[in-house]
Amino acid sequence: MSYLVVIAHPDDEVLGAGATMYKLAQEGHSVNVCILSGDVNVRKFRPSTEELNEDVNSSMNILGVDRVITGDFPNIEFNMVPHLKLVQFIENAIIETGADVIFTHHPADLNNDHLHTSLACQAASRLFQRRSDVKPLKELLFMEVPSSTEWGLNKTMNQFSPNTFIEVGEESVDKKIEALAQYRGVMRDYPHPRSNEAIKGLAAYRGGQAGMVYAEAFESVFRRGF
């Protein structure tokens, strides 16, 4: 199986699905990442471009990611980018990786780039219906990104509602935390949601919800029988 994680910024992939990515890679699946804004040029505490690229590579190596596809869309300005450009970039990533399953942002996330990434990814996921040479997508899932998803305060939008729990175990959670540590300037002290304690606590809570030993939670919004 080929899995594709489509996200707005570097580190979103680890925050949302890092433990699952590690588990899938260890099981022999192909895990790939599509980052729409690779430069994140307005990020606070952003390291140099060379350091950021090193951080991405180090983090992905820990998780066992096969390929990273990086775009140059402007950070925190996805609302200024033509929707079609975002969709086509993601479609190309789907083709290049032969994705069977896609993980992406929840559209109610506070971060505006997350919203537009999710909308574009939803549109791109229909590619197989328009092109017979693209294999049908098996599943599309929304993930929760600590410090963004829980701040989806607009109650006119459907909030993140997990219906899929993937048991990852403590080792995968520790690898997730190790992968996050590669990103300079991203992690914070507890009780910030991007702290080691909060990350592990969330995995323990999601596991407890589903009777699992640590889990990551997702909202499956499209699934074909397989």
Hey, CA dihedral for 70, 74, 78, 81, is it positive or negative? negative
Average pLDDT (72-100) is 97
pLDDT at position 48 is 85
**Interaxial angle between packed helices 12-26 and 49-63, expressed in degrees from 0 to 180 and rounded to the nearest 10:** 30
Q: What is the pLDDT of residues 164-188, one digit of tens each?
A: 999 999 999 999 999 999 999 999 9
120 and 83 Cβ atoms separated by less than 8 Å: yes
Q: What is the pLDDT of residues 138-150, one digit of tens each?
A: 999 999 999 999 9
- As a CATH number, domain 2-223 is 3.40.50.10320
What are φ and ψ of residue 165, in 5° steps? -120, 125
Nearest to 138 by CA among 224, 31, 24: 224
Domain boundaries, the chain: 2-223
Is 5's pLDDT higher than 80? yes
Nearest to 199 by CA among 189, 210, 213: 189
Average pLDDT (211-221) is 98
Q: Are strands 101-105 and 139-143 parallel, antiparallel or unpaired?
A: parallel
Alpha-carbon span 31 to 88, nearest angstrom = 20
Q: At residue 162, what is the residue type?
A: P
Q: How confident is the model at residue 226 (pLDDT cuts 50, 70, 90)?
A: low
Considering the entire predicted model, what is its pTM? 0.96
Q: How many CB atoms lie within 10 A of CB 192?
A: 12
Alpha-carbon span 116 to 108, nearest angstrom = 10
Is 41's pLDDT higher than 70? no
pLDDT at position 42 is 66
